[in-house]
Structures are given as C-alpha cells and as structure tokens.
Chains A and B, each alone.
Chain A
Amino acid sequence: MGHLFRAFSLFLLLAGVAQAHDKRFPSMWVDDLLIHAPVLKATPEGAPVAAGYMGIENTGDTDEVLNSAEVEFAHDAQLHEMVMSGDVMKMRQIEGGIQIPAGETVWLKPGGLHLMLMKPSVALIEGKKQFVTLEFENAGTVRLPFVVAGLDAIRKLSDELHHSHDN
C-alpha cells in the first residue's frame, strides 16, 4: 500500500513537472533524488568563471546533502551562494554542502545558489553538453550531463519549473 501510494504520488509529481517541461532540459533520477533541468550558462572561451544550475528534489524520506561537485572542463567546481545585502552583491562559498531536506526541492538558479566553475578550459556553447560529477551524502557520486543554455533560456526555465513546484 505504502509503495503503491508512493508510486502514485511520484506519478502525480512527474505529471506536474512534465507540463512545464522543456524537452531540451530533461530531468533525471539519482536514487531518490530527481534532478531538474541541469544546465550550464553559455560562457565564452577564456572567461574566468562559469556557472551551473539545477533543481534537486528529494522524493525520499531521508535528508540529503550535496557535498561537492567536480568537472573535468574547469580548474575547480565550488558550491556558492549569491545574496543581496541592500544593493551590495555578496558571494559566499557554501560550508558543509547544500542541504536538501526530505520531501523538499532546492533550486540552484541565477541570483542564488549555484555551481561556480573556476577557470573553464573550454567555451561553453549553447546546446552542447558537459558532464558534472555530483557527490551526495546518501545517493553517492553520480556523473550527469548538463546542457549549456543562454541566460534568457535559463531564467525562463527556472521560473517555469519553480512555479510548477510551488503549486
């Protein structure tokens, strides 16, 4: 019964997400986590930094932590948060990973949490894919394809997905 109920809620959840979904940015499962629209921002060659975004939905009943990220196409990948303090933009490295409580969705999106990629060695070209390795506390280590997208597409995407989840 429990399983059936869970499968049914997952069906509803996926049906909801599917409505807002842009086929170019597929969601994917990692254990109990549903990773929504993992994207990298299109970045010209030689740019000192690049950024990555995604939604991490924890459908399980155990709290999860995204400990770290790793990429081959940049010198380093860090978890960062941008916060506005009045009109001052402040950037912080996240200590202790990004917490994803059971049943909740955490969004890495422009203007907030994000993957910060230091000294990318290649241009990130719109429409191409790059792999990012994510290390979760419980779900373990997984290598996922991230699609490169322009800022306008990323903004639209995170708005749509965000809203479909607030409902």
Chain B
Amino acid sequence: MTTRFSKVWLIWGGAILLALGAGLGGRLVWEDRSGNGALIAADLGGPFSLVTHTGAPITEADLKGSPSALFFGFTHCPEICPTTIFDINAWLEELGPAGDDLKVYFVTIDPERDPPEVLGEYVTAQSDRVTGISGPPDAVRAMADVWRVYYKAVPLDDGDYTMDHTSLIYLLNDDGQYAELIRYGEAQDSAVAKLRALLNS
C-alpha cells in the first residue's frame, strides 16, 4: 500500500514538475518574443539523430567543436528561406576569413518533401557554406520541437501546401549550446557583430 502510494505520488509529482517546466519554458519563449527577456541556453536544444544533405549521419555531438548558426525552413519557401541564406552569405562575405570556423545548418521543417537529395540541391544552389539537415519526419520534428520551433502546414488551392514556421537563426557556441539569436530582417551590422562575438568567444 505504501509502495503503491509513493508510486502514484511519483507519477503525479513528475507530471506536475513537467507541467511547471513546460509552463516556464513557454513563458521564457513568450518573453523573448515580446523583446524583453532572453532565451536560456538550457531550454533549447537536445539530442537528435538525423542526416545531412549528403546523407551523412549528424547528431548533437557534431554541433560541438566549432560555433554554428542553426535555422529551420523548407525548400518550397519562396521568400524567407532563400532570403535567410542570401543574408548569411552576405554576413560571411563581410566576416571574411574570420568567419571560416562558422558552420551553418538549415534544418527542414517539411521533411516529407525535403529528403536529403532535394534539400541538398536547394542549399548548394544558393550557398557553399550551408549544410542541410533532414531525416525521417518524426525525428526531424522532434529536433524542431527541442529547439522550440513552430511549424504548421497550410493548405493551398491547388491541393499543395505551404509551411508557417519560426524564422529565427540560433547561434550556438563551440559546445553546441545556444548563445544568441538573429532575427529575420535584422540589420547586417547587428548580425555581423553577433557573429563576430560568437566567433571570438
């Protein structure tokens, strides 16, 4: 009876802790969107096991060793994804050799339509610095979830669909931990300053 009681307590206690944790995480993200607070490194990221656009396996361990920029998008994206890649190219050009250590990852939030070959064609046509990340849909979505990335399919007239998604670029230090973010449309000076700080840390 005592054992059963403590088990029940464990389950309920765990559930309450989880709910508190989720609430806290949500609050932090919300704060950040309102422009007041900052995201906390511990809240973002986690283990994943996916493949790059060349088909090579990639996990969270591969995000260590050099600083990186991580963002989420999809290939059927006419505006924000090509613009983000275009901007990153311009920032890297301004950084010159100082930016050589930066790795750039584009994770698809539309894995069904973006298998590695498709993603590879898309990113390599626009940049020689961006590595696409894809994989089985559930595993890809799990990664988007641990990075608190919002994504939603929106149907179009012709039976096709487009995706709404978070437009942030996360900057990760060489421990693979969240360090800073760059917003969509951020001025080049500000973005380059953040990248410089990341590369010098």
Do they bind each other? yes
Specify which chain B residues have a CB less than 8 angstroms from the CB of A82 in the assembled complex.
79-80
Instruction: Give A158 Cβ to nearest chain B Cβ, in Å.
Output: 13
Judge whether A51 is part of the interface by a CB distance below 8 angstroms: yes
| Cα distance A60–B185 in the bound complex, in angstroms | 35
| A116:B78 contact, CB within 8 angstroms | yes
| A151:B82 contact, CB within 8 angstroms | yes
Judge whether B183 is part of the interface by a CB distance below 8 angstroms: yes
Query: Which B residues from 155 to 176 make CB contacts under 8 A with A?
Result: 156-158, 160, 162-168
Q: A44-B126, A50-B78 are in contact. List 8 more A-B contacts (CB 8 A).
A: A41-B78, A48-B76, A87-B33, A88-B150, A88-B164, A91-B162, A93-B156, A114-B78
Judge whether A144 is part of the interface by a CB distance below 8 angstroms: no
Instruction: Give A49 Cβ to nearest chain B Cβ, in Å.
Output: 4
Q: With A87-B33, A92-B154 given, is the CB distance from A151 to B78 under 8 Å?
A: no
Judge whether A90 is part of the interface by a CB distance below 8 angstroms: yes
Q: Number of contact residues on A: which range applies?
A: 20 to 34
Judge whether B121 is part of the interface by a CB distance below 8 angstroms: yes
Specify which chain B residues have a CB less than 8 angstroms from the CB of A80 in the assembled complex.
78, 162
Specify which chain A residues have a CB less than 8 angstroms from the CB of B113 in the assembled complex.
48
Query: Which B residues from 100 to 133 make CB contacts under 8 A with A?
Result: 113, 121-122, 125-126
Judge whether B86 is part of the interface by a CB distance below 8 angstroms: yes
| B166:A118 contact, CB within 8 angstroms | no
A-B contact pairs, 19 of them (CB 8 A): A41-B82, A48-B76, A48-B113, A78-B157, A86-B33, A87-B33, A87-B167, A87-B168, A89-B80, A89-B184, A90-B164, A91-B163, A93-B156, A93-B157, A110-B79, A110-B83, A111-B185, A116-B78, A117-B78
Judge whether A84 is part of the interface by a CB distance below 8 angstroms: yes
> Which residue of chain B has its CB nearest to the CB of A117?
B78
Interface centre among A41, A89, A110 (most CB of B within 10 A): A89
Judge whether A96 is part of the interface by a CB distance below 8 angstroms: no
Judge whether A137 is part of the interface by a CB distance below 8 angstroms: no
| Cα distance A87–B31 in the bound complex, in angstroms | 12
Name B's A-contacting residues (CB within 8 A): 33, 75-80, 82-83, 86, 113, 121-122, 125-126, 150, 154, 156-158, 160, 162-168, 183-185
Instruction: Give A135 Cβ to nearest chain B Cβ, in Å.
Output: 15
| B154:A91 contact, CB within 8 angstroms | yes
Specify which chain A residues have a CB less than 8 angstroms from the CB of B156 in the assembled complex.
78, 93
| B166:A88 contact, CB within 8 angstroms | yes
Specify which chain B residues have a CB less than 8 angstroms from the CB of A116 in the assembled complex.
78
